Amino acid sequence: MKQDIADRLEILEGQRAEAKQLRKQARRAHRNYEAESLTAFINFTNRCIQECYREDAENWLDSLPEQTLHELNGDQ
Domain edges within the chain? 3-73
How far apart are the C-alpha atoms of 9 and 24, rounded to whole Å?
22
How far apart are the C-alpha atoms of 51 and 44, rounded to whole Å?
11
How far apart are the C-alpha atoms of 26 and 63, rounded to whole Å?
45
Name which of 10, 25, 44 is nearest 1 in CA terms.
10
Average pLDDT over residues 45-73: 87
Instruction: Tell me what pLDDT residue 50 has.
Output: 98
Average pLDDT over residues 44-60: 96
pLDDT band at 57 (very low <50, low <70, confident <90, very high): very high
The dihedral formed by the CA atoms of 67, 69, 74 and 75, expressed in degrees to the nearest 10: -50
